[in-house]
Amino acid sequence: MPSGSLKSGIGILFMKRSKIGWLLASALAFAGVTGVLAHGDATGIVKDRMDGMIVLREQMRNLTPVLDGNSNLSGEELVEIAELIAAKSGTEMTDLFPEGSLQPASQALERIWDDWDEFATYAESLESLGKELNSLALRPLQNPADTQSEPMAELSEWERLDASVLLGLANEAQAVDDAKDAELVLVQTENRSVEDVVADIANTCAACHQRFRRSE
């Protein structure tokens, strides 16, 4: 997830738990789409990235009912949407923005290359959110018999030690801290809903577009 100033940027656009806020964020993220579709004169890498953005726009359209609580998407459909979002973000997205690729048809701002780390963080966050949505969507599709397991037996202090600690390659206190951090991340992920993740996707797109996309 974004940190620091990125969190602030997303927070400005994000109205927590408000259906209107969620839909507004989604609309902001893909405002002016008609203009994108009209840019038939785009060529090369600029056309490639516009095509990718159109794919993302279509996925957000599909997810809008989730934000409004009226979704009838099946688990399989949600998985497909999540996979497309993850596939069109991260380095797959940033690789389509070589410095100076500003054809007249492009809606990218030169600010992208001035603040490249920030732009890349948005792209990486979107990829992570797509993967998280995919994970959440897959859970109901799994065979309950495959996900049930016997309760884990309580481990002794010796058994809880990481192999790197036993070999003298790591500090025991640090290993305990790392384990607690991993457990916290797991709990946080398990407590998040599909709606939470979709809202983050919409607002990440909205914040990135507001910062780096030329308005019509």
Query: Over the stretch 55-83, which tens digit does the pLDDT of each residue have?
Result: 999 999 999 888 888 888 998 999 999 99
What does the pLDDT read at residue 78?
94
Q: Across all residues in the chain, what is the average pLDDT?
A: 74
pLDDT number for residue 68: 81
| Percentage of the chain modeled with pLDDT above 90 | 44
CATH (one of 1.10.3720.10, 3.40.50.300, 3.90.190.20, 1.20.120.10) for 5-141+193-212: 1.20.120.10
Least confident of 28-32, 176-180, 192-196: 28-32
Task: Inform me whether the pLDDT recorded for 142 exceeds 50.
Answer: yes
Q: Who has greater pLDDT, 39 or 210?
A: 210
HEC assignment per residue over the chain? CCCCHHHHHHHHHCCCCCHHHHHHHHHHHCCCHHHHHHCCCCCHHHHHHHHHHHHHHHHHHHHHHHHCCCCCCCHHHHHHHHHHHHHCCCHHHHCCCCCCCCCCCCCECCHHHHCHHHHHHHHHHHHHHHHHHHHHHHHHHCCHHHHCCCCCCCCCHHHHCCHHHHCCCCCHHHHHHHHHHHHHHHHHHHHCCHHHHHHHHHHHHHHHHHHHECCC
Whether 120 has a pLDDT exceeding 50, the answer reads: yes
pLDDT at 204 over 90: yes
Q: Is the pLDDT of residue 26 over 90?
A: no
pTM score, two decimals?
Answer: 0.66
pLDDT digits over 148-175, tens only?
444 555 555 555 555 444 555 555 555 5
